[in-house]
Amino acid sequence: MAKQVVKRRGQRQVEDVNGSGKPVDLDVLQSLVTEMLLALGEKPGRNGLVKTPERVAKALAFMTQGYQRDIDHLLNDALFPIEYDEMVIVKDLDFFSMCEHHLLPFYGKVHVGYLPNKKVVGLSKIPRIVDTFARRLQVQERLTVQIAETLKAKLNAHGVGVVVEARHLCMMMRGVEKQNTIAVTSSMLGAFRSQPQTRLEFLKLIRRGSVGDSD
């Protein structure tokens, strides 16, 4: 199972980039949802709720399917040799994730850039890498770092930049923060960290089209 080292706030954390691969136990989830409904004071037997445990279990399984995905398998046959060494940018990728503190959604956009080093990844794979990490219980900072570290390692890229802009329902619905707050996180690796010009070029190119823009 592939492990990778993630540096944050000066600490070294070993993060497991591959999920457990363990299939979701839908039966257990369903009975837990029934118990939750009871604990909330609901009547799980009433019409509108009869199929709710089954629906919630299936929805949770879908929204956490990233645990079943293997990054190496995903990238298999999707790396191509090139001479080209200009920055590659994929921006405005929609993602939906769930915060691991409240099990409520956070969602928004991911912008990815990298400087290739003799190979590139098929463009369609970048959204799938994002989904693999987003469809797990997450915190936004870790999601950002996992996407960046994975691209850096698998592509051996000269540099990688990832910016994530998100709205968190746990902040919005619980009235913790202003309703329009967008949390922005970034991870800059290699040339994106060491060369301000590279970083600026990336930030300039992704600047247009933030979450909620109506253009």
- In which element (H, E) is residue 130 found? helix 125-134
Q: Which stretch binds Zn ion (CB under 5 A): 16-24, 70-78, 102-110, 192-200?
A: 102-110
Check if 101 is active-site.
yes
User: Do the bridges between strand 119-121 and strand 79-81 make them parallel or antiparallel, or are there none, so unpaired?
Assistant: antiparallel
**Contacts with Zn ion, 154-193, as mask; x by CB under 5 A:** ----------------x-----------------------
Q: What is the nearest approach in angstroms of Zn ion to the Cβ of residue 181? A: 13
Check if 168 is active-site.
yes
**205-208: long-range contacts, CB 8 A cutoff, minimum separation 24:** 205/87, 205/89, 205/91, 205/113, 206/89, 206/91, 206/111, 206/113, 206/163
Start-to-end CA span in the chain (Å): 43
Q: What is the nearest approach in angstroms of Zn ion to the Cβ of residue 172? A: 10
Residue showing tokens 């909330």: 40
Q: Which stretch binds Zn ion (CB under 5 A): 54-62, 83-91, 99-107, 191-199?
A: 99-107
Check if 83 is active-site.
no
> For residue 171, what are the contacts with CB-CB under 8 A and spacing of at least 6?
177, 181
**Candidate residues 29, 33, 75, 99; the one interacting with Zn ion per rule CB under 5 A:** 99
| Strand partners of residue 65 | none
**Candidate residues 43, 46, 55, 101; the one interacting with Zn ion per rule CB under 5 A:** 101
Check if 73 is active-site.
no
Question: Residues interacting with Zn ion, by CB under 5 A?
Answer: 99, 101-102, 170
